[in-house]
Amino acid sequence: MVSSEVELKEAKQSFEKMDKNGDGILSQDEITEGLQKLGYIEKKDVEEIITAMDMNKNGQIEYTEFLAAMMDHRKYEHDDEKIKMAFKHLDFDDSGFIERNEIVKLMGCNNEDVVD
Q: pLDDT digit string (tens) for 54-113?
A: 989 988 999 888 888 877 655 545 566 666 777 787 788 889 888 888 877 777 766 565
Contact status, residue 12 vs residue 34, Cβ threshold 8 Å: no
Q: What's CA 39's distance to the chain center, in Å?
A: 13
Residues 24-62 pLDDT 10s: 899 989 988 888 887 777 777 888 888 888 989 988 999
Go through the domains of the chain in sequence order and give each one's CATH number: 5-75 (1.10.238.10), 80-113 (no CATH)
The H-or-E segment that residue 26 falls in is strand 25-26
Which pLDDT belongs to residue 83?
67
